């Protein structure tokens, strides 16, 4: 007979889904070996050349299962207003009825894996536990790398620790309701997909997809969508942010968290190689930060993940040498191309593609093909412990005290290279109004903007306006002298000819240096309508060919175009049905007034 809530839940889901057998996972090397061998045997995995890429594998998904499915992702809160205008909402009871129908018999002929995992170091006060049920051994192996899978989690739960139940199925039973068995495919999935979150009961149900954040339920589902609602209720923050430690030549170390929408340089900053002599940047996390007030009165952050689920295309020794070192071994690659000597390749890895490849769908490919060899969203999954820049603090149970929070977007116009907020409220306003310009063809006076507040648009598990209020409340609950300073950065500003004004990549360490100097009070700043800007003589440009004109362009604040942007922000705020925090309305009003005075 089941002995506790966890065992009862597993028994209930098994009764619903009807698997052939049940395996309780332990995260061991033995389990890794057994499951990789199983996936190689059934054709889901291709073992890569052991001499070139030890203990590494390539998986190819179904063409219809290659990315997060945001239009099939739902917040099933009891009240629609709690989901807010940025989320898809479904009534929870009706959704549960639909899901139970889909999951009924969904694992016939398959093994049901029970995966106890911890988000964060298992003994950390900031850690939270989950148990994912899945019929995908590919998911189990990725969870090995991305979370801390351990029987210790089961022991914690048995002792009374709270946990998040997460059920996943690819929705491809091998035995029909008549008992007839069919052959498996190398990538089972279902055309119908649902990724559902139930904030009040802290449940995750995912059906139909075997890919990435749709199926690795510790990833975006628990760490952000359910995580953000837990954080709201418990007084902390669950954020789509990297965490780094930056140490100056004098040995002074600062910790930064940074929120960037996709394609804005997030992973490159997480693994930054500074060009300034004597500076060192260490990686604590590349994607998720859980941030809470600590006993020392400061905001402290942990990376709740144990691995990296990185985008492969564009990653190279030139753009991110540390990532390339990280994935030399013990890595799962998904939807990249296969070389003739049994290694992997993707666009941007080398200047010239090989003469022949097997592309991500398994077909022959040559440079004459008009389509890419690797899928644009192809990925690598690897343990964070393998990163050469990983910090000794990355799995510190107490986390690291944050000195600064950075917000960034991809902006060809308007936004300077770096600007400091006036105070916490202004910093939250910066985060709430993050945007990226879509394409040059779509640009208007200040560019066609795609808003992604706090880089959380697809991931906030409740009403975004309430989320902004929560940010205000958490920060204002911290003594002012102990709050992180807030900055906005933009590596992507262009001149009138469409050329980037800033070299980016390792040179972004100069921005990190200026931010550290501002925190220490070592440099002054000039006031502007949008915040505090660097003074040229106090911004390290040594060795860079940046003219006075270019510097002024990089930091230009044009009142006319900013007035247009302020009006766009006013219209954007109207989407939230009058729920915008008063402080953010005040920030917009103050910005408009400052611009009008120029």
Q: pLDDT (tens digit, 9 = 90+) per residue, 47-67?
A: 999 999 999 999 999 999 999
CA-based nearest residue to 7, from 83, 111, 87, 114: 114
Task: Tell me which DSSP letter residue 496 carries.
Answer: T
Buried-exposed string 271-308: b where 16+ CB fall within 10 A, e elsewhere: bbbbbbeebbbbbbbbbbbbbbbbeeebbbbbbbbbbb
- The sign one gets for the Cα dihedral 160, 400, 405, 424 is positive
pLDDT at 426 over 80: yes
Token pair of 403 as six digits: 């000195």
Task: Report whether 169 contacts 104 (CB < 8 A).
Answer: no
Query: What is the per-residue pLDDT across 308-335, written as a single tens digit (0 to 9) for each?
Result: 999 999 999 999 999 999 999 999 999 9
Q: Are 159 and 318 in contact (CB under 8 A)?
A: no
Res 236 pLDDT > 60: yes
Query: pLDDT digit string (tens) for 158-189?
Result: 999 999 999 999 999 999 888 889 999 999 99
Q: 338 near 357, Cβ under 8 Å?
A: yes
What DSSP designation does 306 have?
S
CATH of span 307-386: 2.170.8.10
Which pLDDT score, from 0 to 100, does residue 177 have?
82
Q: From 513, 501, 494, 498, select the one nearest 548 (Cα to Cα).
A: 501
pLDDT at 444 over 70: no
- Residue 3 — very low, low, confident or very high, per pLDDT cuts 50/70/90? low
What angle do the packed helices 559-573 and 582-596 form, to 10 degrees? 160
384-404: average pLDDT: 97
Residue 26 C-beta-side C-alpha neighbours within 13 Å: 7
DSSP characters for 152-178? HHHHHHHTT--EEEEEEE-S--SB-TT
365 pLDDT band, cuts 50/70/90, is very high
Q: How confident is the model at residue 153 (pLDDT cuts 50, 70, 90)?
A: very high
Retrieve residue 561's tokens: 């175009």
Residue with tokens 């795609």: 450
Which pLDDT belongs to residue 466? 98
Residues paired with residue 364 on neighbouring β-strands, in sequence order: 358
> What strands lie across the sheet with 418-420, from one edge to the other?
280-285, 242-247, 253-259, 404-408, 485-489, 418-420, 531-534, 525-528
- The domain ranges of the chain are 5-44+65-235, 239-304+394-596, 307-386
Average pLDDT, the chain: 95
Q: Which CATH number fits domain 239-304+394-596: 3.90.1170.30, 3.10.20.30, 3.40.50.10860, 3.90.228.20?
A: 3.90.228.20
Predicted confidence (pLDDT) at residue 87 exceeds the cutoff of 80: yes
Q: Are 448 and 413 in contact (CB under 8 A)?
A: no
354: helix, strand or coil: coil
CA distance 315 to 323: 7
User: pLDDT at position 449, please?
Assistant: 80
Question: Identical fold at 5-44+65-235 and 307-386?
Answer: no
Tokens of 235: 């007084």
pLDDT at 114: 98
Q: What is the mean pLDDT of residues 264-280?
A: 93
Length of the chain: 598
What pLDDT was estimated at residue 419?
Answer: 98
Res 577: pLDDT: 84
Task: Give buried/exposed letters for 565-579 (b at 16+ CB in 10 A, else e).
Answer: bbebbeebbeebeeb
Q: What is the largest CA-CA distance in the chain?
A: 78
Q: E strands, 170-288, where? A: 194-198, 203-207, 237-239, 242-247, 253-259, 280-285
Query: What mean pLDDT comes out for the span 292-312?
Result: 97
Rounded average pLDDT over 354-378: 97
Question: Torsion angle, CA of 263/274/242/216, rounded to 10 degrees?
Answer: 70
Percent of the chain with pLDDT over 90: 94
Alpha-carbon distance of 82 to 225, in angstroms, equals: 13
Quick one: fold of 5-44+65-235? Phosphoenolpyruvate Carboxykinase; domain 1 (3.40.449)
Tell how far CA 507 is from the center of its chain.
Answer: 23
Q: Which of 268, 468, 456, 462 is nearest to 348 (CA)?
A: 268
Please give the average per-residue pLDDT across 527-548, as a whole number. 96
Active site residues: 264
pLDDT in tens, 179-217: 889 999 999 999 999 999 999 999 999 999 999 999 999
Kindly report the CA angle at 5 between 4 and 10, in degrees rounded to 5? Answer: 100
Summarize pLDDT for 446-490 with one digit per residue, the tens. 457 889 999 999 999 999 999 999 999 999 999 999 999 999 999
Query: φ and ψ at 400, to 5 degrees?
Result: -120, 145
Q: By percentage, how much of the chain surpasses pLDDT 70?
A: 98
Of residues 389 and 437, the one with the higher pLDDT is 389
Using alpha carbons only, give the angle 166, 189, 130 rounded to the nearest 5 degrees: 10
Q: Is the pLDDT score of 247 beyond 80? A: yes
Q: What is the pLDDT of residue 225?
A: 98
219, 212 Cβ separation under 8 angstroms: yes
Q: How far apart are CA 378 and CA 182, in angstroms?
A: 29
Q: Name the band, by pLDDT with cuts 50, 70 and 90, for residue 539.
A: very high
Per-residue pLDDT for 597 more than 90? no
pLDDT digits (tens, 9 = 90+) for 427-441: 999 999 999 875 433
The pLDDT of 266-291, averaged and rounded, is: 96
What global pTM score does this model have?
0.96
Confidence band (pLDDT; 50, 70, 90) for 1? Answer: very low
Whether the pLDDT of residue 398 is over 80: the answer is yes
């Amino acid at each position: 007979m089941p002995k506790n809530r966890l065992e009862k839940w597993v028994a209930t889901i098994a009764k619903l889904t009807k698997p052939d057998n049940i395996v309780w996972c332990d995260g061991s090397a033995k389990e890794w070996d057994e499951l990789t061998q199983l996936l190689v045997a059934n054709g889901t995995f291709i073992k890569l050349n052991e001499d070139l890429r030890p203990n590494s594998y390539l998986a190819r998904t179904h063409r219809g299962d290659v990315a997060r499915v945001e239009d099939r992702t739902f917040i099933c809160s009891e009240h629609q207003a709690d989901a807010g205008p940025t989320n898809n909402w479904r009534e929870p009871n009706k959704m549960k009825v639909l899901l139970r129908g889909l999951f009924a018999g969904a694992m016939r002929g398959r093994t049901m894996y029970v995966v106890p995992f911890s988000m964060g170091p298992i003994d950390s006060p900031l850690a939270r536990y989950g148990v994912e049920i899945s019929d995908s051994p590919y998911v189990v192996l990725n969870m090995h790398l991305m979370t801390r899978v351990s029987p210790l989690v089961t022991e914690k739960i048995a002792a009374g620790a709270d946990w998040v139940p997460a059920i996943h199925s690819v929705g491809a039973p091998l035995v029909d309701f008549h008992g007839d068995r069919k052959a498996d495919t190398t990538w089972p999935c279902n055309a119908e997909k649902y990724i559902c979150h139930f904030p009040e009961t802290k449940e995750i149900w995912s059906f139909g997809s075997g890919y990435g954040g749709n199926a690795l339920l510790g990833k975006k589902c628990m760490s952000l969508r359910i995580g953000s609602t837990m954080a709201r209720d418990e007084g902390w923050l669950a954020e789509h942010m990297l965490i780094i430690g930056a140490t100056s030549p004098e040995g002074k170390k600062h910790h930064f968290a940074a929120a960037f929408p996709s394609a804005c340089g997030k992973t490159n900053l997480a693994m930054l190689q500074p060009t300034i002599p004597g500076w060192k940047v260490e990686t604590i996390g590349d994607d998720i930060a859980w941030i809470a007030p600590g006993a020392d009165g400061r905001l402290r952050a942990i990376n709740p993940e144990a691995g990296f689920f990185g985008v492969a295309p564009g990653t190279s020794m030139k753009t991110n040498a540390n990532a390339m070192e990280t994935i030399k071994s013990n890595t799962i690659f998904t939807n990249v191309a296969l070389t003739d000597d049994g290694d992997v390749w993707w666009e941007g890895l080398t200047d010239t593609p090989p003469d022949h490849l097997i592309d991500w769908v398994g077909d022959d490919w040559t440079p004459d093909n008009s389509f890419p060899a690797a899928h644009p969203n192809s990925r690598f999954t690897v343990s964070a412990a393998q990163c050469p820049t990983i910090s000794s603090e990355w799995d510190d149970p107490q986390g690291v005290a944050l000195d600064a929070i950075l917000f960034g977007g991809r902006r060809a116009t308007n936004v300077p290279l770096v600007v400091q907020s006036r105070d916490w409220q202004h910093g939250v306003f910066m985060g709430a109004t993050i945007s990226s310009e879509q394409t040059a063809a779509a640009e208007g006076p200040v560019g066609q903007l795609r808003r992604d507040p706090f880089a959380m648009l697809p991931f906030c598990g409740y009403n975004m306006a309430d989320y902004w209020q929560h940010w205000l409340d958490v920060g204002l609950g911290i003594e002012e002298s102990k709050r992180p300073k807030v900055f906005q950065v933009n590596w992507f500003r262009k001149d009138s000819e469409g050329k980037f004004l800033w070299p980016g990549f390792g040179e972004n360490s100069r921005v990190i240096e200026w931010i550290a100097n501002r925190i220490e009070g070592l440099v002054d700043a000039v006031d502007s309508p949008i915040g505090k800007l660097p003074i040229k003589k106090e911004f390290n440009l040594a060795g860079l060919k940046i003219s006075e004109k270019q510097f002024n362009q990089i930091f230009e604040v044009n009142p006319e175009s900013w007035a247009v942007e302020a009006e766009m922000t006013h219209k954007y705020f109207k989407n939230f049905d009058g729920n915008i925090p008063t402080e953010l309305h005040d920030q917009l009003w103050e910005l408009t007034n400052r611009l009008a005075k120029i």
